[in-house]
Structure 1
Amino acid sequence: MQKQKAAVVTPGSFFIPSGRSSSVERVVEQMLPLVPEGFDIRIYGVQEPNQPVKGSLDGGLPVYRLQGGTRYASGVIRSLLEWKPGVIDVQNRPWLARRIKQAMPGAKVVSTIHSLTYISSPYADRLTAERMLLPMDEIVVNSEYLKKELAVRHPLLVHKISVNPLGVSLLDFMPRWNPYSEALRESKLVNKGWQGRRVVMYAGRLLPIKGVHHLLGALPEIVQAVPDVMVLIVGSPFYSSSRRTAYEVHLHDLAELYSNHVTFVPFVSYPAISYWYHLADVVVVPSAEGEAFGLVNVEAMASAVPVVASDAGGIPEIVEDAATGILLPQTTLEEGLGPALIRLLCDEQLRRSLGQAGRLRTAQYFQWKHTAARWHEMMQKLDLQ
């Protein structure tokens, strides 16, 4: 029997597979090769200079690359009209999903929403967002938090919304606490000249909403209590540019008096980021409201490293307070982050128990194979309607 055709349309911002892209492309790259049999899947993305028009992901899943910029949408629609898939999943570009639905009213079109960004100002007011999403056959989000936010803003959409949490590849992240791992980690620390240091890590973009300033603001308190602490800040303001921002400059200014305790590491591609997680004793996720999911949480937990995070957005759906990490109310980050980190840095047994519980929770609930199986089930139901 001929397989049903399913297209997955990426935002057209980053070439895939590349490793140097946003979390949206990472979801596509990591999840789709694990989708169970049943669909003939094509991925659509942007073409970079000197790259072939057709490529593939692991396992041979085809990637069709089209011209970017203003030509991307029309190129995608032309290609879809030629191939005629029955199901089309558009990743994080609701306006493009609506254009595709207008061009192909007989297809089942899914708008997968990764955050509130493209359905909020300045990209869209509430009325515009609703007009984009109402024609969709399904809306997929990555957390119950995001589903609730959408339902509050757009009650007419409630019956269309499904939740598919994201995941991690356990094989990409070496867990702490077994003898081999600890010996390798110690060797890495010696190579860095950080032997004997206790390591706090932040990983992600350097944006005010990510709350990195809260971590650096707590430095005086942390250094006084844990004089051997090393704070790793891994990331840049942008995925594919080294351009600096005023906020990044501000972070360097905050760290200036503690240069022996802070190391900035520019953007690290995936899965090379796992090297840095392996060095960490604690990972910090001090995000503000609007963090829909946060892959850094599951990546830290896959590394058996406890997480200290705000209770923003969908984070409490991932990090269990006092079980796999410590959750702090957003309003208490300024005064609460330092004591929480000091507590963990001074208690190796607590770090071990929280970290091991995090690895187990990730294995049970947050692997890409789980995300892929749910995606497969959702697309099958749509295709049968």
Structure 2
Amino acid sequence: MKIAFVCTENLPSPAIKGGAIQVLIDGIVPILSEKHDITIFSVADPPLPKQEKIGNIEYIRVPYQYFSREITKQLAKSQFDIIQVYNRPKAILRYKEVAPNSKFILSLHNDVMREAKISSELGIKVIETCDHILTISHFIKQQIIKRFPEAEQKTTVAYSGINLNEFPPIWSPYIQPIRQHYREKYGVENQKVILFAGRLCKSKGPHLLIQAMKPLLKKHPDAVLVIAGGRWYSDNSIDYYVNYLHQLAKPLKDKVLFTKFIPAQEIPKFFLMADIFVCSSQWEEPLARVHYEAMAAGLPIITTNRGGNTEVISHLKNGYVIDEYNHPNEFVDAIDYYLSNPNVALQYAKNGRLLVEENFQYKHTFKHIETVYDSIRSSINEK
């Protein structure tokens, strides 16, 4: 079949500037393109050509300021069997007008069907127009059907995934030189590295980890917090909150390190230098893909009981889940638990790695999506 992916207008594809949607598409289209002709529409970016074709995958990139208009034009002149639109439900109504014979899938990585984002009237129209809805977690699915019960029968959960080859576990003998190199590069050799990776915004909660460091260092003076990320994807500018983080960390000196934005291809190496990974999210996470990455890398994980996080992290099985997510002392206790019980931490990490191997590789994501495609193909053939 001929399938179009319509990315959001924020980031280009491939994921040269990061983005969970773009990273996921990078992971699944090599598998999908073995069976289908794939066209990926995304925003233009200076290092990338406006149009290119790699095997059965065609990339078409349009300027940000004309994104909606240009995508609509492109879809109007092409004949796609399936058009898969990411995170932009209202756009489907416009695209359907110009591509009435195409089947539409709405892929949701966020709760963009909530009242603040779309009216009940438009939401119902979107659901009626869609042939299927894919959500990144059960949390997002439940949020949708809570407001729009009619969506339940056409909504499927397709978890994100990773490429295991890109994320060897930290206990692998052959990666020890890489682990040592990065630890030396950032001056954290012989220290216990606590890693945060994500955008520097209040909803991600890195301020709580900085606040947790002072009491933690009293018991574990060899601990160090590494904060990997920028204000936005590929954006290292300093806003009020980022400045606040730096001021908060000043008294701790070299016990808190800021790396700024890390390109997607470098992230696996950052996981390799860590001893513990913490997702300190304060908002209702759809389900942060960093959990899959940290599990694959063999790190003991601490996360918050927010949104879909606990769909993949089970407390005291393959991670440590914090219920009182906005209390720094809860993070102190969780990190201390791992540092004081290294054998337990290792066992949780191994449980997490096994979970990813069995459930959260890109081949698993592909199977969920391909099942939906098969269903749509069947409906096309019946007609």
| TM-score bracket, shorter-length normalisation | over 0.9
Shift of 1:146: 0.8
Separation in structure 2 between the aligned mates of residue 7 and residue 90 of structure 1, nearest angstrom? 8
Q: Is the 8 A contact 2:6 2:41 kept in 1?
A: yes
- 2:245 maps to a residue whose letter is L
The equivalent residue for 1:337 is: 331
Percent identity reads 24
Quick check: 1:41 aligned with 2:17? no
Shift of 1:326: 0.5
Tell me the number of residue pairs that the alignment of Structure 1 and Structure 2 aligns. 379
- 2:64 maps to a residue whose letter is G
Q: Is the 8 A contact 2:282 2:326 kept in 1?
A: no
Shift of 1:324: 1.4
Shift of 1:74: 2.4
Quick check: 1:109 aligned with 2:99? no
Shift of 1:267: 0.8
Question: Aligned with 1:219: secondary structure?
Answer: helix
Normalising by structure 2, report the TM-score: 0.93
The equivalent residue for 1:219 is: 213
- 1:368 maps to a residue whose letter is Y
Quick check: 1:159 aligned with 2:156? no
Quick check: 1:21 aligned with 2:15? no
Question: Aligned with 1:43: secondary structure?
Answer: strand
The equivalent residue for 1:293 is: 287
Quick check: 1:233 aligned with 2:239? no
Normalising by structure 1, report the TM-score: 0.92
The equivalent residue for 1:194 is: 188
1:174-185 residue pairs with structure 2 within 5 A?
A: 174-185=168-179
Shift of 1:17: 1.7
1:332/1:51 CA distance change after superposition, 3 Å? closer
Shift of 1:203: 0.3
Separation in structure 1 between the aligned mates of residue 3 and residue 173 of structure 2, nearest angstrom? 45
Q: How big is each residue's C-alpha offset from its partner over 1:69-113, in whole Å with a ceiling of 9 and x where there is no partner?
A: 2x2222222222222111110111112222112222322111111
Q: Is the 8 A contact 2:137 2:159 kept in 1?
A: yes
Question: Aligned with 1:323: secondary structure?
Answer: coil
- Which consecutive residues of structure 1, in runs of 5 or more, have no partner in the other structure? none
Q: Is the 8 A contact 2:182 2:269 kept in 1?
A: no
Q: Is the 8 A contact 2:37 2:57 kept in 1?
A: no
Separation in structure 2 between the aligned mates of residue 86 and residue 180 of structure 1, nearest angstrom? 45
1:181/1:92 CA distance change after superposition, 3 Å? same
Q: Is the 8 A contact 1:324 1:355 kept in 2?
A: yes
1:15/1:184 CA distance change after superposition, 3 Å? closer
- Which consecutive residues of structure 2, in runs of 5 or more, have no partner in the other structure? none
Shift of 1:285: 0.6
Q: Is the 8 A contact 2:105 2:132 kept in 1?
A: yes
Separation in structure 2 between the aligned mates of residue 33 and residue 124 of structure 1, nearest angstrom? 33
Q: Is the 8 A contact 1:202 1:283 kept in 2?
A: yes
Quick check: 1:143 aligned with 2:137? yes
Question: Aligned with 2:264: secondary structure?
Answer: coil
1:108/1:263 CA distance change after superposition, 3 Å? same
- 1:65 maps to a residue whose letter is R
Question: Aligned with 1:218: secondary structure?
Answer: helix
1:308/1:66 CA distance change after superposition, 3 Å? same
Q: Is the 8 A contact 1:115 1:290 kept in 2?
A: no
- 2:258 maps to a residue whose letter is F
Q: Is the 8 A contact 1:310 1:333 kept in 2?
A: no
1:92-107 residue pairs with structure 2 within 5 A?
A: 92-107=87-102
The equivalent residue for 2:2 is: 5
Q: How big is each residue's C-alpha offset from its partner over 1:278-312, in whole Å with a ceiling of 9 and x where there is no partner?
A: 01111001112420110110100010001100011
1:189-338 residue pairs with structure 2 within 5 A?
A: 189-331=183-325, 333-338=327-332
